[in-house]
Amino acid sequence: MQHDQQRYFEALYAASEDPYALRHRWYEARKRALLLAALPRARYRRAYEPGCGIGELTLALAPRCDHLLASDFSLHAVDIARERTSELANVRVAQHQLPSDWPRDAGRFDLIVLSELGYFLDHDDMHRLAACCEDTLEADGVLVACDWRPDFAQRSLSTREVHGALAALGLPRLALHEEDDFVLQVWARDGRSVAQREGIR
């Protein structure tokens, strides 16, 4: 992530503990609900959520994960997320600069959630991030991307480019949800549908 973007986000979180109104906007609550509903399994062993911000999605993911590692590059955001998740024994929040700090030493993940993150990276770093997902995704792993579609000043890549880099990994796609505001995609190493996994068809 570029230094000017780092300064932008540090200033943003220093000025407000919830600069995007994640706790109050119905848009954000609905988007989280759609993401959670799109996950093909009820529970995950080890999940990674980079770009966690203040931890709103982290709090929603935690009940479905045995272990959840969340991260953000902003120390202000990390401090807020740590405080908000401090009573959750299965959650750890770290400061990571991606893709260089991708937590390879933490083992492999059966869930990776990339929400509103990739378009802040440049082309090369986004493709490095996608490679990190490929390298650390378990044999039964699930990869999720959810991103804002309209243009904005701090964007380095289009959402189409971000999702294209992840789709190029060649994982079977289980879900695609598109709206004017955002796109949500779910890929998995196991390409069976939820109904197939449960023997319904």
Residue 7 has pLDDT above 80, yes or no: no
Mind listing the pLDDT tens digit for each residue in 148-160? 999 998 899 999 9
Give the pLDDT score at 72.
95
Residue 11 has pLDDT above 90, yes or no: no
Mind listing the pLDDT tens digit for each residue in 109-147? 999 999 999 999 999 999 999 999 999 999 999 999 999
What whole-number percentage of the chain has pLDDT above 90? 84
Mind listing the pLDDT tens digit for each residue in 49-76? 999 999 999 999 999 999 999 999 999 9
Residue 3 has pLDDT above 90, yes or no: no
Residue 4 has pLDDT above 70, yes or no: no
Q: Which residue has the tokens 């230094």?
A: 3
Burial class (CB in 10 A: 0-12, 13-18, 19+), 171: buried
Q: What is the model's pTM?
A: 0.93
The per-residue DSSP string of 3-28 comes to: HHHHHHHHHHHHH-S-TT-TTT-HHH
Give the pLDDT score at 15.
65
Give the pLDDT score at 2.
56
**pLDDT (average), residues 166-175:** 98
In 3D space, the residue among 20, 27, 24, 26 whose CA is nearest the CA of residue 51 turns out to be 20
Give the pLDDT score at 42.
97
Say if residues 43 and 69 touch (Cβ distance below 8 Å). Answer: no
Radius of gyration of the chain (CA): 16
Which residues on adjacent β-strands are paired with residue 147?
Answer: 183
